[in-house]
Amino acid sequence: GAVVSQHPSWVICKSGTSVKIECRSLDFQATTMFWYRQFPKQSLMLMATSNEGSKATYEQGVEKDKFLINHASLTLSTLTVTSAHPEDSSFYICSARSTSGRYQETQYFGPGTRLLVL
């Protein structure tokens, strides 16, 4: 149980284009989903927290107009990197928190999306 999927698993795009990444909780409902960014050999950096049906909460330093987050249902959140540039190249990982279960604080992570902007 508690499976989270991401699509696509990797994407290469040209500078200036927008890229959408989907995060789905497959076997549970998630009122809260999180988006992280990770650079090589570093820990995960939280970008934003999204609650179903409301606006995402962004961490300090993360541009909300650059990284658009939508959490339209209890099983789907999307991250759109708008006008991507090479410095946006990174590993993006989402996680979801279940609305039920033994510990509702537990976050389950997706497999990540590798973005390369040329």
Partner 1 sequence: GESVGLHLPTLSVQEGDNSIINCAYSNSASDYFIWYKQESGKGPQFIIDIRSNMDKRQGQRVTVLLNKTVKHLSLQIAATQPGDSAVYFCAEIEGYSTLTFGKGTMLLVSP
Using CB under 8 A, list all residues that contact partner 1: 2, 4, 6, 34, 39-44, 46, 49, 87, 91, 93, 95, 103-112, 114
Q: What's the token pair of residue 70? A: 């939508």
Minimum distance of partner 1 from residue 41's CB (angstroms): 5
Give the shortest CB-5-to-partner 1 separation in angstroms.
Answer: 10
Of the candidates 19, 25, 86, 43, the residue with the CA atom closest to the CA atom of residue 34: 25
The encoded tokens of residue 101 equal: 């279960």
Residue 75 or 90: the one with the smaller Cβ distance to partner 1 is 90
Tell the smallest beta-carbon distance from residue 64 to partner 1 (Å): 17
Q: Are 6 and 75 in contact (CB under 8 A)?
A: no
Distance from C-alpha of 36 to C-alpha of 28, rounded to nearest angstrom? 20
What is the rounded CA–CA span in Å between residue 89 and residue 3?
A: 25
- Smallest distance from partner 1 to CB 49, Å: 6
* Closer to partner 1 by Cβ: residue 44 or 68: 44
